[in-house]
Structure 1
Amino acid sequence: MAHLEHVNVTVSDPKATTAWLGAVFGWKTRWEGDAISGGYTAHVGDEDSYVALYTPKRPMDDPQHSYTTRAGLNHVGVVVDDIDATESRVKAAGFQPQNHADYEPGRRFYFDDHDGVEWEVVSYA
């Protein structure tokens, strides 16, 4: 069976995003350094999967709404054991949880980070 190894997302500051991902989800930096095409990349996650955080050398355009952009990243879903504790850490990181729902197969909420990336937090516990 196949599994998802990583997702690569362009962000304004990979080091800042790495810091809050570690604080919220307990993820570690697996690798960081110069990107092949220029810019900088950090890989943050666990031993099985990670999020690659990339920033180019050139200034970036303002983001477009992902749900109406072809090949847009709509959200990244993260499964947690304790959704209430995770929500507290999301708030402590300065993000506003929204769109709470409790339906099969689990509880969830969403939040947007400082780059406009939407994150879904879900618990099946």
Structure 2
Amino acid sequence: MVPYVEHANVTVRDLDNTIRFLQTAIPEFAVRHQGQQPTHRWCHIGTENTYLALQEVVARDQIDRTPYQDLGINHIGLVVDDVVQVRERLLSAGYRENDMETRHPWRQRIYFYDRDGIEWEFTQYLSDDPLLRNDYSL
């Protein structure tokens, strides 16, 4: 068996907004299950083999985190078949794109923020060759 990431667990402000964002970007993602705890709702969304475990934040006055400077998730990367289609769907739905430079001959990447300000990376690989897909020389 080849090891792989089965899931990531992410706390979000509004579960429904994040589900809507993910299904706009990747319509194939399905809610596998969802539930209610005494303090928050949660769900698993993805495919049969991999998913994101989402839970709503427990209400509090502020979140103390500066992305890329403090501990925590900076972005979550998802592989897609066509980043152009993902971009079109997300922009049409009113989501904000991070316009950082991502040129590479063997992969296309785009970054978008959901309604909670969580950054999501979508990557389309342009080669099946692992040496090219994982090239970091550029």
- What is the TM-score with the length of structure 2 in the denominator? 0.79
Q: Secondary structure at the match of 2:116?
A: coil
In the TM superposition, what are the counterparts of 1:9-24 in structure 2 within 5 Å? 9-24=10-25
Give the aligned CA root-mean-square deviation in angstroms.
Answer: 1.8
- What is the TM-score with the length of structure 1 in the denominator? 0.87
Structure 1 gaps, min length 5: none
Amino acid at match of 1:108: R
Amino acid at match of 1:13: D
How far apart are 1:82 and its partner, in Å? 0.9
Q: Secondary structure at the match of 1:54?
A: strand
In the TM superposition, what are the counterparts of 1:1-125 in structure 2 within 5 Å? 1-26=2-27, 27-35=29-37, 38-59=39-60, 61-62=62-63, 64-70=65-71, 72-97=72-97, 98-125=99-126
How far apart are 1:29 and its partner, in Å? 0.4
Q: CA separation of 1:63/1:24 partners in 2, compared to 1, >3 Å: closer, same or farther? A: farther
How far apart are 1:100 and its partner, in Å? 4.4
Identity of aligned residues (%): 32
How far apart are 1:111 and its partner, in Å? 1.4
Q: Secondary structure at the match of 1:32?
A: strand
Structure 2 gaps, min length 5: 127-138
Q: How many residues align?
A: 123
CA distance in 1 between partners of 2:39 and 2:102 (Å): 40
CA distance in 1 between partners of 2:96 and 2:59 (Å): 29
Structure (1/2) with the larger strand percentage: 1
Contact 2:17–2:115 (CA under 8 A) maintained in structure 1: no
Runs of at least 4 residues of structure 1 off by over 4 A? none
- Cα deviation, 1:28-68, whole Å, max 9, x if unaligned, reads 10010124x73110111111111111114433623521211
How far apart are 1:96 and its partner, in Å? 2.1
Q: CA separation of 1:12/1:51 partners in 2, compared to 1, >3 Å: closer, same or farther? A: same
Q: Which has the larger radius of gyration?
A: 2
Q: CA separation of 1:109/1:61 partners in 2, compared to 1, >3 Å: closer, same or farther? A: same
